[in-house]
Amino acid sequence: MRKPMIAVPMGDAAGIGPEILVKSFCDPQLHDSRIVVIGDKHVMENACGICGADVHIRVIQDIRDADFEPKVIPLIETEAIDKERFRFGELSAMCGKAAFSYIQKSIDLAMHHQVDAIATPPINKESLRLAGLEYIGHTEIFAELTGTKDPQTMFQTGNLRVLFLTRHVSLRQACALITKERIVDFVKRSVESLSKLGIGEGKMAIAGLNPHCGEHGLFGDEEGREILPAVKELQEAGYPVEGPIGADSVFYLARQGRYNCVLSLYHDQGHIACKTLDFEKTVSITNGMPILRTSVDHGTAYDIAGRGIASEISMVEAILTAEKYAPLFRASGA
């Protein structure tokens, strides 16, 4: 059976995205994969040379022209990079604008069912801003271009899955956003999204916010005021959820198989757990959209860009994860 077709936007040209992409095409795990890169030919050829990769770039005009030969990277070009002005590791409006165009084209292909999923290398938020694009990151771009009101971020590291109630806000703001209403709404939508990935068995655990889940109000009242009432309402409605469970143990319990996922209440709470377990193989999955998107969970690494030393492990894992879930996502009718 043929593998799903995966679109991969090149990411920020000045970062490590092109290099980890080239290295991914050399990985034996992806030897029969059907991957189309959306990016810039010159930059990708440069990355091939930097990495000493025995692959070459074939520019195609239409996704149907991709023939997926060994050691060939099918590439659709959008926004060109001016090689006279291009520098590795430098913020630029040019690279920010180009990175956005690669994502835009990938989403267009997915929305028109020409590819089965998208796997993204890193982009740079500051480069986007220099290009006049006021997005915090990939998730916000995908939300707007797919018409998704509030997509859900999920990390997967081995058999540990972590969802995030709040993302890129200050810790003070995150605490204010932890309300009964938001938890109930988020869990209901997450259960539906998980089912589209074939994850229907088991219970979701909700992490506590305060030390020892507040110790009945001694160390904070959010558990009693917001989290416990949300859990009770969800359980009464038949949703498989438990909590709050102390954040110092809940991720371990999920890793042992007691829960199918954990709802992390703020950004670093879940990031620390996943990245400590396996930094390179942590993959981000954006749920709740009409298309499937996976991503590396690291940045553009400007400090090492252009040196051929960046690890491709997370990129390979993101593509493998997209290939794993794409058939289930498609079968769900999404």
Q: Supply the pLDDT for residue 218.
A: 79
Q: Give the model confidence (pLDDT) of 20-44 as tens digits.
A: 999 999 999 999 999 999 999 999 9
Query: 3-state DSSP helix/strand/coil percent for the chain, to nearest 5?
Result: 40, 15, 40
Chain centroid to CA 154: how far?
A: 7
Please, which pLDDT band fits residue 293 given cuts at 50, 70 and 90?
very high
* pLDDT at 211 (0 to 100): 85
Mean pLDDT of the chain: 94
Q: Are 267 and 178 within 8 A, CB to CB?
A: no
Instruction: Please determine, for residue 69, whether its predicted confidence score (pLDDT) is greater than 90.
Output: no
Check: CB of residue 165 under 8 Å from CB of residue 178: yes
Helix (H, G, I), strand (E, B) or coil at 123: coil
In this prediction the pTM is: 0.92
Reference 110, options 99, 97, 119; nearest CA is 119
CA–CA distance, 278 with 160 (Å, rounded to integer): 10
Q: Residue 228's pLDDT is what?
A: 96
CA–CA gap between residue 197 and residue 67 (Å, rounded): 28
Per-residue model confidence as pLDDT tens digits over 218-232: 787 888 999 999 999
The Cα–Cα gap between 225 and 235 comes to 17
pLDDT in tens, 253-285: 999 999 999 999 999 999 999 999 999 999 999
Q: Please, what is the Cα angle at 180 between 174 and 183, to 5 degrees?
A: 65
The Cα 188–Cα 250 span in angstroms is 20
State yes or no: pLDDT of 93 exceeds 90: yes
3-class secondary-structure state, position 288: coil
- Upper half-sphere CA count for residue 324 (Cβ side, 13 Å): 14
In this structure, are residues 270 and 173 in contact, taking their beta carbons and an 8 Å threshold? no
Percent of the chain past pLDDT 70, that is, above it, reads: 100
